[in-house]
């Protein structure tokens, strides 16, 4: 009986937390404060008040990995191959070159401004360079950005996550092997990207054939099949030492335009699951942070770095890459401002702790402040920025993003 009572209490706490998260989403819609920020702060306060709620870094890594599989597959399928092809050049250049350039500019700033070593500075730069598609979707709610601007911003958010992760893995190898040279970063990155891309393409094409040819008896099974296929693609790529995150995103792009049975139901299921995954990641991050132990200097460093990334590093890195794109000046500025931070910086910072990198705790705490500042300031002003910069946004019915069939 005691075990049943204990398990019932666990269910009660989890269900109560989920209900509070849904309420927070409603509050977010009314106050313009992104729900992700509310989850992050609430979880951090809860972990201070109830230390038993704290999570280990290994647990956070696993939670963030599973969440990103869902988020990136949903991000890829919501764009679809047709929309991606129209803006492929800027998406690829921003996703790869833009991520490297942003990480490099941040690394130089951190080294000179904070006095950290080059490797630690590079790790911090790699952690905060990627943006997040799920945070963008949660901030926009039922609104969609018009034309190529929205496609570029969403595509870059999905593409630069795997790039940032692969870059971080290479830098961690460099940081944890005293005899390693920078070529190990190049090798790990090339291996991750090439293998992940190949498996993503093959997996996406196989998924298309399965979705077209193999009928299932109910809508619920179709939604579960898409989730299972995403997990298979990630697992195959990871086992082959490739980027499972890139493979999942590419597979999502390939199946996104497919006309299949129960398309609307699958779309709604994936959107809801991606939103839940983002909530879980932010709660997990909050539960690993001890707010009362977070020093004033760490808050200052994080806020300064967040401002530098948003106002200087990202514009410097993306400005030249956006020049060839057929966008109005206001649209270019909007893409630069829309680089919201989310689940990926959380995962990357957790990687440094889990692998016992020098200054890992400092990196993790700084990333916490950067992500919090990004979702509050950039996320809270994204709609106002769109209006001021002349970027059209409109409301869309649930599960009906433009260009996506699946």
What pLDDT score does 29 carry? Answer: 58
Instruction: Please give the DSSP secondary-structure letter assigned to residue 216.
Output: -
* Nearest Cα to Cα of residue 202 among 137, 248, 165, 138: 248
Q: What would the two tokens of residue 212 be?
A: 């077209």
Let me know if residue 373 belongs to a domain. Answer: yes
pLDDT: which is higher, 243 or 291: 243
pLDDT for res 338: 84
- Please report, to the nearest 10 degrees, the dihedral formed by the alpha carbons of residues 241, 242, 243, 244 taken in order: -80
Mean pLDDT, residues 91-109 taken together: 93
161, part of any domain: yes
Q: How far, in Å, CA of 386 to CA of 338, rounded? A: 10
CB 77 within 8 A of CB 256: yes
pLDDT tens-digit series, residues 341-369: 877 888 888 889 888 888 888 998 899 89
Answer yes or no: is pLDDT of 138 > 80.
no
- In the prediction, which pLDDT does 384 show? 83
Residues in the chain: 406
Backbone dihedral angles phi then psi of residue 357, each to the nearest 5 degrees: -75, 145
User: What would the mean pLDDT of 320-338 be, rounded to a whole number?
Assistant: 87
As given in the structure block, the two tokens for residue 56 are 């280990």
Q: What is the mean pLDDT of the chain?
A: 82
Residue 31 domain flag = no
Sole residue written with tokens 């086992």: 239
Q: Which pLDDT score, from 0 to 100, does residue 262 have? A: 66
Domain count, the chain: 1
Q: Could you give phi then psi for residue 323, rounded to 5 degrees? A: -55, -45
The reply to whether 5 falls in a domain is no
More confident residue, 163 or 143: 163
Q: What percent of the chain has pLDDT over 90?
A: 23
pLDDT reading at 401 higher than 80: no
Token pair 């941040």 is found at 106
- pLDDT, position 308: 96
The residue with greater pLDDT, 18 or 297, is 297
Q: What is the CATH number of the domain that holds 134?
A: 1.20.1530.20
Q: Which residue has the higher pLDDT, 6 or 92?
A: 92
Say whether pLDDT at 335 is over 70: yes
Position 87 confidence tier, pLDDT thresholds 50, 70, 90: confident
Residue 394, phi then psi, degrees to nearest 5: -145, 165
How sure is the predictor about 277, in pLDDT bands with cuts at 50, 70 and 90? confident
| 45 vs 137 pLDDT, higher one | 45
Domain that holds residue 151: 37-395
User: Rounded mean pLDDT of 375-389?
Assistant: 84
- Measured CA to CA, the distance from residue 177 to residue 187 in angstroms comes to 14
| pLDDT of 404 strictly over 60 | no
DSSP 257-271: T---TTHHHHHHHHH
**Selected residue with higher pLDDT from 37 and 202:** 202
Q: Kindly write down the DSSP assignment for every residue of 325-394, as one continuous string.
A: S---HHHHHHHHHT----HHHHHHHHHHHHTT-TTHHHHHHHHHHHHHHIIIIIHHHHHHHHHHHT--EE
Task: For residue 15, tell me if it sits in a domain.
Answer: no
pLDDT grade for 103, boundaries at 50, 70 and 90: very high
pTM: predicted TM-score of the whole model, two decimal places: 0.84
Q: What pLDDT was estimated at residue 196?
A: 93
Q: What is the band of 406 on the pLDDT scale with cuts at 50, 70, 90?
A: low
Q: Is the pLDDT of residue 110 over 90?
A: yes
Q: Is the pLDDT of residue 141 over 60?
A: no
pLDDT band at 324; cut points 50, 70, 90 = confident
Mean pLDDT calculated for residue range 19-43: 68
Judged against a pLDDT cut of 60, whether residue 8 lies above it is answered with yes
Please, how many CA atoms are within 13 Å of residue 63, restricted to the half-sphere of its CB?
Answer: 22
Q: Does residue 401 lie in a domain region? A: no
pLDDT at res. 97: 92
- pLDDT score at 18: 63
Task: Give the least confident one: 28-32, 83-87, 159-163, 313-317.
Answer: 28-32
Asked if residue 14 belongs to a domain, the reply is: no
Least confident of 138-152, 252-266, 291-305: 138-152
34-48, 161-175, 201-215, 254-268: lowest mean pLDDT where?
A: 254-268
Which residues make Cβ contacts (< 8 Å) with residue 60, sequence separation at least 6? 284, 285, 288, 346, 347, 350
For the ranges 24-38, 54-68, 135-149, the one whose mean pLDDT is highest: 54-68
Mean pLDDT over 262-275 rounds to: 73
Is residue 18 one of the residues assigned to a domain? no
Q: Is the pLDDT of residue 53 over 90?
A: no
Helix then strand then coil, in percent of the chain rounded to 5, is 80, 0, 20
- As a whole number of angstroms, the distance between CA 378 and CA 387 comes to 14
């Amino acid at each position: 009986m005691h075990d049943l009572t204990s398990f019932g209490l666990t269910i009660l706490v989890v269900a109560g937390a989920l209900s509070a998260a849904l309420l927070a989403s409603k509050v977010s819609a009314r106050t313009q404060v992104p729900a992700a920020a509310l989850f992050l702060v609430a979880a951090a306060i809860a972990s201070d008040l109830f230390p038993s709620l704290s999570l280990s870094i290994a647990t956070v890594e696993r939670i963030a990995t599973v969440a990103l599989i869902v988020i990136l597959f949903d991000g890829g399928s919501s764009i679809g191959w047709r929309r991606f092809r129209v803006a492929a050049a800027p998406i690829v250049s921003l996703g790869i070159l833009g991520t490297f350039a942003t990480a490099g500019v941040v690394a130089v700033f951190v080294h000179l401004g904070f006095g950290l070593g080059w490797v630690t500075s590079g790790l911090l730069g790699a952690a905060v360079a990627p943006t997040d598609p799920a945070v963008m979707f949660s901030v926009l709610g039922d609104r969609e950005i018009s034309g190529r601007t929205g496609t570029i911003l969403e595509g870059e958010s999905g593409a630069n996550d795997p790039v940032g992760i692969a870059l971080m893995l290479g830098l961690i190898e460099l940081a944890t092997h005293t005899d390693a040279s920078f070529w190990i970063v190049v090798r790990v990155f090339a291996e991750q990207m090439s293998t992940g891309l190949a498996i993503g393409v093959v997996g996406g094409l196989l998924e298309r054939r399965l979705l077209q040819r193999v009928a299932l008896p109910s809508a619920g099974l179709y939604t579960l099949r898409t989730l299972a296929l995403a997990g298979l693609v990630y697992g195959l790529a990871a086992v082959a030492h490739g980027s499972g995150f890139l493979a999942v995103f590419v597979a999502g792009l390939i199946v996104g335009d497919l006309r299949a049975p129960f398309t609307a139901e699958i779309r709604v299921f994936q959107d809801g699951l991606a939103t839940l995954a983002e909530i879980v990641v932010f709660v997990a991050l909050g539960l690993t942070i001890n707010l009362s132990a977070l020093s004033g200097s760490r808050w200052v460093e994080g806020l300064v770095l967040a401002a530098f990334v948003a106002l200087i590093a990202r514009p410097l890195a993306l400005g030249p890459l956006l020049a060839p794109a057929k966008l109005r000046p206001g649209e270019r500025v909007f893409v630069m401002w829309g680089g919201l931070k989310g689940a990926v910086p959380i995962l990357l910072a957790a990687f440094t702790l889990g692998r016992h990198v020098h200054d890992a705790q400092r990196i993790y705490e700084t990333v916490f402040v950067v992500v919090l500042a990004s979702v509050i300031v950039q996320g809270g002003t994204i709609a106002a920025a769109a209006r001021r910069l002349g970027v059209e946004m409109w409301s869309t019915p649930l599960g009906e993003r433009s260009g996506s069939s699946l």
